[in-house]
Chains A and B, each alone.
Chain A
Amino acid sequence: MAQDGPQSQTIAVIGGGIAGVTAALEAAETGYDVILIEKEPALGGRVTRLNRYFPKFCHPTCGLEINYQRLRKNPRVKVLTMHEVTAVEGEKGAYVITARRLPRFVNEKCTACGECGKVCETEIDDPYNYGLGKVKAARLPHEHAFPMRYVIDAAVKGTDDEGRIAEACQYGAVDFSEEEEEVTLNAGAVIWATGWRPYDATRLETYHYADSPDIINNVEMERLANHDGPTGGKVVRPSDGEPAKKVALIQCAGSRDVNHLPYCSMICCLASLKHAAYVLEQYEDAEVHMYYIDIRAHDKMQTFYERIKVDPRIKFIKSKPAEIHPGADGRPVVKGERTIDRELYEESYDLVVLATGMEPSAKDISASGDVVKDEDGFVLAIESGDGGQVSCGVAAGPFDVALSTQSGTAAALKAIQAVGAR
């Protein structure tokens, strides 16, 4: 097939979340070389930040750990962390991927002994916890990190910490000479597994997310409930640490809205039902109100919805709230119209969780060739294209974890067909 010169058979996977890791492993286990490119210091993406999965409440760490085991055993997958892809150009067999390599200041000699973290005094907003807590600038990204290697934030540069950290490392793993640089990578096929980010809740002006620490979004709720989150797993009010017993869950916060994300993200209703379960599990006298337009618990998820629904402590209110703001006593107030009986309501809560939707991260990456981005930023393969680029996970559409892994496997199959049998 290599009539026009050397044709690469390497498959590049952009994004090391659950879809990307799955696609990379599936392709590598059939015998192809894979480059897995991740912009964060560790793999796992959004999934590693979740507390539990719906509908079975199992731990995401379980599935990730199995995948990391597979990665460790497979020399065909080359994992590149802290590489932020900016553009993909070229055609099947000869793609050029441009990425910004961000400085980690820690090389592969790191043993994760933790001495650098002990001497580091600089603290930064913890990106793993969506900024909900502080963390040392020299840190392990999180306890389950793959690769198990420290990362140092550029905030220490020029401070006393810089010398202290370099001195603390006994393995010569700290390297402050690293600088951001542009790198190019070559591949024969490209799998877009770029995933998503939560829609920016500050843009929902009437919901005053920025004006109260007790108005949070759904991904932050996962961190609050997680044992390695900022509160050690207690669902409390971020403002004063008091138990969050009366909680409002707001569906379609910016979703199905032409002013924000026009589509339904499919997972939010189910994630919110899960959040209800977190609160109900922690407090005997909890009171959870779920505000919704309609509950979208697709096929088998209906059973999950019905299971949560029977608890008398959860109430479903059919209404998209018109306004949410901090009240006179500081507690967030939710206002709107109940659409079943047309009553106007105004109710205070300990905690309000905005179920913000998934915005595709691929919006930031320039695509060309046989993929296009639709008007919402999702990446779609062109039917008539050469098949060298495919997408999976939330890069392709708003999927839950199960569909993301399925689509990851499907993408791996398409990619190995594209680079051809050997």
Chain B
Amino acid sequence: MTAAIPATSRTYDLSFARWVRENVKGGDKMNLCMQCGVCSGSCPIGSEMDNGPRKTFMMVRAGMKDEVLSSTTLWNCTSCYRCYVRCPRGIPVTSIIQGLAAVAAKEGYADKEKVSNYYFSKAFWWSARSFGKTDERLVTMKYFFSFGLVEGIKRALANLKIALGMVKAGRMHIGMPHSIRNKSQLKAIIAKAAELESKG
């Protein structure tokens, strides 16, 4: 994903499909889609998506770049791979959705009002990067406060009962964050990955 996304001033960007084909992982298989609907019908959280994968693919074909990249479909995908496994044309649906999400983030399409999962992904990654593990409290707090101080407090209070219940059930711990040993090795791994990515 090195080429710059084509700039557009129109609602319909007819070069968008070609750009996706050439720059998004699995995008070259997207033209095999026959619009059967198995991906969207199989999606366990399909009801939480505005478009679902099948419609997203059609919108890419139609050149609806803005709508595709600001869609909740890209962020609500849980990567269960059911769509990919079931696709009768063998299209790597999950990879394409993830690839489009990466483009959306890079291009500044991730609107926090619409795609809050983008902030959850960021909070998750922050925890994984910092501790080598996810800390359920810190990830949640970081996620809540990415919407601002007031909204953060509001969300935290609204979820207090669940949090206390989880503590009681032993599903959330109190004390120091979980962390791995030898964090320096983790940092080295991440640095290497970043280096490889920048090389393309």
Q: Is A363 an interface residue (CB 8 A)?
A: no
Q: Which of A260, A319, A342, A344 is the one whose CB lies under 8 Å from B36?
A: A319
Q: Is A259 an interface residue (CB 8 A)?
A: yes
In A224-268, the 8 Å CB interface with B consists of 252, 256-260
Q: Distance (Å) between the CB of B184 and the closest chain A CB?
A: 45
When chains A and B are docked, how far (Å) is the Cα of A422 from the Cα of B37? 59
Q: Distance (Å) between the CB of B170 and the closest chain A CB?
A: 33
Closest A residue by C-beta to B90: A258
Q: Is B55 an interface residue (CB 8 A)?
A: yes
Q: Is A144 an interface residue (CB 8 A)?
A: no
Residues of A within 8 A of B198 (CB): none
Instruction: State whether A320 touches B38 (Cβ < 8 A).
Output: yes
* B 27-65 to A, binary, CB cutoff 8 A, 1 in contact else 0: 000000011111011100011000110110000000000
Instruction: State whether B41 touches A257 (Cβ < 8 A).
Output: no
Q: Is A170 an interface residue (CB 8 A)?
A: no
Q: Is A338 an interface residue (CB 8 A)?
A: yes
User: With A252-B36, A293-B36, A344-B46 known to touch, is A319 a contact of B88 (CB < 8 Å)?
Assistant: no
Q: Is A46 an interface residue (CB 8 A)?
A: no
* A 332-357 to B, binary, CB cutoff 8 A, 1 in contact else 0: 00011111001010000000000000
In B75-98, the 8 Å CB interface with A consists of 86, 88-90
Q: Distance (Å) between the CB of B130 and the closest chain A CB?
A: 39
When chains A and B are docked, how far (Å) is the Cα of A320 from the Cα of B40? 10
Instruction: State whether B34 touches A293 (Cβ < 8 A).
Output: yes
Instruction: State whether B38 touches A336 (Cβ < 8 A).
Output: yes
User: With A322-B37, A322-B41, A337-B46 known to touch, is A259 a contact of B51 (CB < 8 Å)?
Assistant: no
* A 30-61 to B, binary, CB cutoff 8 A, 1 in contact else 0: 00000000000000000000000000000000
Instruction: State whether A342 touches B88 (Cβ < 8 A).
Output: no
Q: Distance (Å) between the CB of B84 and the closest chain A CB?
A: 11
Q: Is A321 an interface residue (CB 8 A)?
A: yes
User: With A335-B41, A337-B40, A337-B46 known to touch, is A206 a contact of B34 (CB < 8 Å)?
Assistant: no
> Which range holds the interface residue count of chain A?
20 to 34
Instruction: State whether B51 touches A339 (Cβ < 8 A).
Output: no
Residues of A within 8 A of B52 (CB): 337, 342
Closest B residue by C-beta to A262: B88
Instruction: State whether A342 touches B90 (Cβ < 8 A).
Output: no
Residues of B within 8 A of A321 (CB): 38, 41
Instruction: State whether A337 touches B88 (Cβ < 8 A).
Output: no
Q: Is A200 an interface residue (CB 8 A)?
A: no
Report the tally of A-B residue pairs with Cβ distances under 8 A.
62
Closest B residue by C-beta to A322: B41
Instruction: State whether A337 touches B34 (Cβ < 8 A).
Output: no
When chains A and B are docked, how far (Å) is the Cα of A337 from the Cα of B42? 8
Instruction: State whether B41 touches A319 (Cβ < 8 A).
Output: yes
Q: Distance (Å) between the CB of A260 and the closest chain B CB?
A: 8
Closest B residue by C-beta to A294: B34
Residues of B within 8 A of A293 (CB): 34-36
Residues of A within 8 A of B35 (CB): 293, 339
Q: Distance (Å) between the CB of A251 and the closest chain B CB?
A: 10
Q: Distance (Å) between the CB of B97 and the closest chain A CB?
A: 15
User: With A322-B41, A342-B55 known to touch, is A256 a contact of B88 (CB < 8 Å)?
Assistant: yes
Closest A residue by C-beta to B83: A322
When chains A and B are docked, how far (Å) is the Cα of A258 from the Cα of B51? 25
User: With A258-B90, A342-B51, A344-B47 known to touch, is A320 a contact of B37 (CB < 8 Å)?
Assistant: yes
Residues of B within 8 A of A336 (CB): 37-38, 41-42
User: With A322-B41, A322-B42, A344-B41 known to touch, is A339 a contact of B36 (CB < 8 Å)?
Assistant: yes
Q: Is A323 an interface residue (CB 8 A)?
A: yes
Residues of B within 8 A of A260 (CB): 88
When chains A and B are docked, how far (Å) is the Cα of A342 from the Cα of B35? 11
When chains A and B are docked, how far (Å) is the Cα of A257 from the Cα of B55? 19
Closest B residue by C-beta to A319: B37
Which B residues have a C-beta under 8 Å from some C-beta of A? Answer: 34-38, 40-42, 46-47, 51-52, 54-55, 86, 88-90
Can you offer 7 A-B residue contacts whose CB atoms are under 8 A?
A259-B86, A320-B37, A321-B38, A336-B38, A337-B52, A339-B36, A342-B54
Other CB < 8 Å A-B pairs besides A293-B35, A337-B37, A337-B54, 6 of them?
A: A257-B88, A322-B37, A336-B42, A337-B46, A344-B41, A344-B46
